[in-house]
Amino acid sequence: MSRTVLVIRHGIAEEPVDAAIAGRNDARRELTKEGWHKMRQAAQGLATLVDGIDLLVSSPLVRAVQTADCVAEAFPDAKRAQHPGLSPGVDHSALLQWVMRQKGTLALVGHEPDLSEWIGYMVSGAPRSLVQMKKGAVCKLEMPEQAVPGEAQITWHLSSKQLGMLG
């Protein structure tokens, strides 16, 4: 039996300088209008590829939460949560241990370079980038129910533009 994990990078967010001018620190940077639009399209495309998401988890940073909001519009039955372990500076082993305690299809929304390194950790056993997670990209991993680093397989990896074309 296998487990499906969708790894999703947050959508296009405002530049740090623009957030600072608006009085927001990095953790409070928001998706741009374009970011909202492209993520909603990508989420619709994702819904054509994935039957459902049981648990949709994001970093607590605003841009990741807003990206998860877009995904939740396409997957209204998904349970929602935030997990500080998806914030920048991911502890790869701790995230894997947390993932293994969850049930069903899991979607993780976070940041670079952590996501691509975690994918590399799951596929090769070493935290290295094997894929380029552009803003709004999704990588589908399949792994054993009780996976260890190096046991996951990348089923597919699509950009937000590719996903939007499917929607």
Give the pLDDT confidence score for residue 16 in this predicted structure: 94
Give the pLDDT confidence score for residue 167 in this predicted structure: 85
Whether pTM > 0.75 for this model: the answer is yes
Domain housing 84 = 2-166
3-state secondary structure at position 70: helix
Contacts of 73 (CB under 8 A, 6+ apart): 40, 43
Rounded to whole angstroms, the Cα distance separating 90 from 69 reads 22
Rounded to whole angstroms, the Cα distance separating 18 from 40 reads 23
Q: Is 71 left (phi over 0), alpha (psi -120 to 50) or beta?
A: alpha
**Tens digit of pLDDT per residue, the chain (167 long)?**
789 999 999 999 999 999 999 999 999 999 999 999 999 999 999 999 999 999 999 999 999 999 999 999 999 999 999 999 999 999 999 999 999 999 999 999 999 999 999 999 999 999 999 999 999 999 999 999 999 999 999 999 999 999 999 98
Rounded to whole angstroms, the Cα distance separating 39 from 41 reads 5
Q: What is the CATH number of the domain that holds 130?
A: 3.40.50.1240
- For residue 134, how many other CB atoms are within 10 A of its CB? 13
Rounded to whole angstroms, the Cα distance separating 123 from 45 reads 25
Nearest CA-CA partner of 160 in 36, 24, 17: 36
Rounded to whole angstroms, the Cα distance separating 151 from 97 reads 14
Give the single-character DSSP code of 8. E
Q: Are strands 153-158 and 138-144 parallel, antiparallel or unpaired?
A: antiparallel
* Residue ranges with strand state E in the chain: 2-9, 55-58, 79-82, 106-110, 138-144, 153-158
Domains identified in the chain, total number:
1
Give the pLDDT confidence score for residue 1 in this predicted structure: 74
